[in-house]
Structure 1
Amino acid sequence: MADQRPPIRYSDSIETRPEGEDRAIEGIIASMTQETRTVAEREKHAVRASHAKASAVLKGTLTVLDGLPPELRQGLFANPGRHDVAVRLAQGPGEDLDDSVSTHRGMAIKVFGVEGEKLPGHENGQTQDFVLATGPVFPNADAAGFLTAIKGLEKGAGMPQGVKAAVSTVAGAVNKVVKAVTGGDSPLLDFFGHSPRHPLVDSYYSQAALRYGDHVAKIAAVPVSAGQAALGDDPLDTSKNPNTFRDATVDYFTREDAEFEIRVQLCTDLDSMPVEDASVEWPEEQSPYRAVARLRLPRQPAMSPARHAYMNERMSFRPAHSLAAHRPLGSLMRARLRTYAALAATRQRMNGTQPAEPRDISQIPD
């Protein structure tokens, strides 16, 4: 039974910046920039420093539910209604690897027609971005911890793909044992060895906290359609096709719609549900995830060349594209606010492409 404590009230004092965080964030940017250059030298093209390989680029709608209780009627979700959205599904690595390397995955959502005060730098924007990934927590607590981890990933950027596939396989196998014993995934093992199941059966999480109007929350997208349930949880065979996940996702959208329930987990206790440590899972027995909206992705060409070129090369999804009411919180999010912009600028400069931040869905090619 869930704890009935009320959600805490948001205040600026919730965040506590540790000494040396700015240096850690600068180190993350430097390390991930070098990783981008290493991969670009090999592939003759700069790609995203994480979630480089798209499985689908999609258009859909986000419908905010009617009749939400006051604590859930916040920010984007304050009023029932429908918004156009663009969604990008992708594999985790910052390089275009064969799908035998099955790591964590991402879902990026850009919501259009969003009114209200925006974060600095996004004042003229009409969008709200949510950047989600598989697993309810991040493997590292904060910017300093992520810097240590990213230096290892930078060194591994030049390793042969076969080695990375072997690491992914071993991590996935060990994670199965951990899950059987503990009932849950190991965030670090899942990061490197995610089950090679269909991308549309995964749930996706903000992992770190964000402001939720008067409160503080984490957000998730959970698959709920019958078509997705029918896909099952069994691993896909990635041994013969380097683009197994993309092809499976594109094939699905030729015949079925997909739907995710957008759910929010409100913070009710800062000790057991910390904002500054993204590696701590907030206990659902204290505060369960609760539905606030439906994300519907209808049948469509899920990887058209024109749309892929626009959404992959020119468009970006960033935590900084946000309402003030959904400001990202905590050390990991503060790092993301700076690194996403810096890395996108580096990638687009290397490729000679012009950035684009669409104001409505019609600007995204079909």
Structure 2
Amino acid sequence: MPAKTSFIRYSDDVETRPAGEDDTIAEIIATMTSESRKVADREGHTVRASHAKANAFLKGELRVLDGLPPELRQGLFAEARTYPVVVRMAQGPGEHLPDSVSTHRGMAIKVLDARGPKIDGHAEDTQDFVLATGPVFPNPDAAKFLGAIKGIEKHAGKDDALKAAVSSVALQLDKVVTAVKGDHSPLLDFFGHTPRHPLTDTYYSQAALRYGDHVAKISAVPVSPGQAALGDAPMDTSGRPDAFRDATAAYFGDEGAEFEIRVQLCTDLETMPVEDASVRWPEDESPYRAVARLVLPRQDALGEARRAYVTERLSFRPAHSLAAHRPLGSLMRARLATYPALAAYRQKQNGAEGIEPTSLDQIPD
């Protein structure tokens, strides 16, 4: 970083809540609940309204790096220590689709023994980071997301072949955009993500969060030699509806994976807005910098007991947060309300009791 770099100090003023946002969020919850009902009618079971199809359920460690500079030594990362974590890797849609429908992906990290003041409504010692492929979200705020999710809700539970065709077209168009502009289209990548191995993707918070005294975004970047050896070429999903899941489980049957957790600190609220999640923060002004290693050892990533426990009883949500990492901006405010409502609906429909674990021993092997 340049010696004179100035980082934006966190204060309540970094957020600006528009009029009518609560009504918008209520409509998002209603729309996504309707989507869940439609999918349940087809699948016979209520699944997550997003990231329904998991590729792996993992136990591991988050190892905070030693010797971080003061601006990075914040919140969960204030001291060099190791936290136990539960990780869920999944495809993006809120239904189980064949992998010929290659859309955005998610990585949800639940950090245990995360002590300190929490945001309102959260009491347990956990910190969740909900990440996805793509450095930005396709929609800037809650209002625009509502418009997008209404379109998705209309087609929930319908023809897989149509969704595969949309995914394929989006992927091809994104290749053209990337060739011309040198970067992916967030919207096209959302619907037509390159079907590479899930362990070779980088995952992002996309929207902003508090980072102790500062404001930041977070990413998880694959760094192990085994992951590098996988390459980034597209996988052949022809006739393989669970190609991504099978490949991820096979990898963890042989060796472990590591992701470097990196933080991009906000230096300018004009070029790095908090309220617009669709704006990419310029990395030449503030690069992502390493703060920790996410270490996921060799293990059975799809064991039935673990799958049932994580799928039915756990929820990963931005609202599971230390005050030091409070989610920020319109999209995150929508998530703070939407995730708990949808999790409660899913667990009620399935007769499952939600739980926040306090130890990895509670997670089945």
TM-score when normalising by structure 2: 0.99
Q: Any conservation in 2 of the 1:3–1:287 contact (CA below 8 Å)? A: no
Distance 2:141 2:329 in 1: 8
Q: Partner letter of residue 228 of structure 2?
A: A
Q: Any conservation in 2 of the 1:2–1:286 contact (CA below 8 Å)? A: no
Q: 1:351 aligned to 2:339? A: no
**% identical aligned pairs:** 71
Residue 304 and residue 175 in structure 1: after superposition, are their counterparts in 2 closer, same or farther (change >3 A)? Answer: same
Q: 1:298: which partner in 2?
A: 297
Distance 1:185 1:296 in 2: 28
Distance 1:25 1:64 in 2: 35
Q: 1:55 aligned to 2:44? A: no
Distance 1:67 1:2 in 2: 18
Q: 2:95: which partner in 1?
A: 95
Distance 1:158 1:245 in 2: 21
Q: Secondary structure in 1 aligned to 2:311?
A: helix
Q: CA offsets, 1:280-332, max 9 Å, x none?
A: 00000000000000000010000000001010111000101110000000000
Q: 1:73 aligned to 2:73? A: yes
Q: 2:159: which partner in 1?
A: 160
Q: CA offsets, 1:142-199, max 9 Å, x none?
A: 0000000000000011320000000000000110111111111100000000000000
Q: 1:84 aligned to 2:84? A: yes
Alignment of 1:149-228 (within 5 A): 149-228=148-227
Q: Secondary structure in 2 aligned to 1:294?
A: strand
Distance 2:2 2:130 in 1: 27
Q: 1:314 aligned to 2:313? A: yes
Q: Partner letter of residue 226 of structure 1?
A: P
Q: Any conservation in 2 of the 1:83–1:111 contact (CA below 8 Å)? A: yes
TM-score when normalising by structure 1: 0.99
How far residue 120 of structure 1 moved from its aligned partner, in angstroms, is 1.4
Q: Secondary structure in 2 aligned to 1:88?
A: strand
Q: Partner letter of residue 62 of structure 1?
A: L
Q: 1:128: which partner in 2?
A: 127
Q: 1:45: which partner in 2?
A: 45
Q: Secondary structure in 2 aligned to 1:89?
A: strand
Distance 2:153 2:351 in 1: 24
Gaps of 5+ in 2: none
Distance 2:9 2:231 in 1: 40
Residue 4 and residue 237 in structure 1: after superposition, are their counterparts in 2 closer, same or farther (change >3 A)? Answer: farther
State the 4+ residue runs in structure 1 displaced beyond 2 angstroms: 1-5
Q: 1:15: which partner in 2?
A: 15
Q: 2:136: which partner in 1?
A: 137
Q: Any conservation in 2 of the 1:2–1:285 contact (CA below 8 Å)? A: no
The aligned length equals 365
Distance 1:356 1:364 in 2: 11
How far residue 2 of structure 1 moved from its aligned partner, in angstroms, is 6.2
How far residue 359 of structure 1 moved from its aligned partner, in angstroms, is 1.3
Q: Any conservation in 2 of the 1:31–1:151 contact (CA below 8 Å)? A: yes
Q: Secondary structure in 2 aligned to 1:254?
A: helix
Distance 1:40 1:348 in 2: 13
Q: Secondary structure in 2 aligned to 1:339?
A: helix
Q: Partner letter of residue 279 of structure 1?
A: S
Q: Any conservation in 2 of the 1:207–1:278 contact (CA below 8 Å)? A: yes
Q: CA offsets, 1:175-224, max 9 Å, x none?
A: 01111111111000000000000000000000000000000000000000
Q: 1:25: which partner in 2?
A: 25
How far residue 5 of structure 1 moved from its aligned partner, in angstroms, is 2.6
Q: Any conservation in 2 of the 1:206–1:219 contact (CA below 8 Å)? A: yes
Q: 2:34: which partner in 1?
A: 34
Q: 1:323: which partner in 2?
A: 322
Q: Any conservation in 1 of the 2:53–2:90 contact (CA below 8 Å)? A: yes
Q: Any conservation in 2 of the 1:2–1:288 contact (CA below 8 Å)? A: no
Q: Any conservation in 1 of the 2:95–2:157 contact (CA below 8 Å)? A: no
Distance 2:2 2:55 in 1: 36
How far residue 3 of structure 1 moved from its aligned partner, in angstroms, is 9.0
Q: 1:259: which partner in 2?
A: 258
Residue 179 and residue 276 in structure 1: after superposition, are their counterparts in 2 closer, same or farther (change >3 A)? Answer: same
Residue 29 and residue 221 in structure 1: after superposition, are their counterparts in 2 closer, same or farther (change >3 A)? Answer: same
Gaps of 5+ in 1: none
Q: 1:364 aligned to 2:363? A: yes
Residue 140 and residue 3 in structure 1: after superposition, are their counterparts in 2 closer, same or farther (change >3 A)? Answer: farther
Q: Partner letter of residue 131 of structure 1?
A: V
Distance 2:179 2:51 in 1: 28
Alpha-carbon RMSD: 1.0
How far residue 91 of structure 1 moved from its aligned partner, in angstroms, is 0.1
Distance 2:120 2:274 in 1: 21
Distance 1:196 1:3 in 2: 40
Q: Partner letter of residue 72 of structure 2?
A: L
Q: 1:116: which partner in 2?
A: 116
Distance 2:258 2:208 in 1: 24
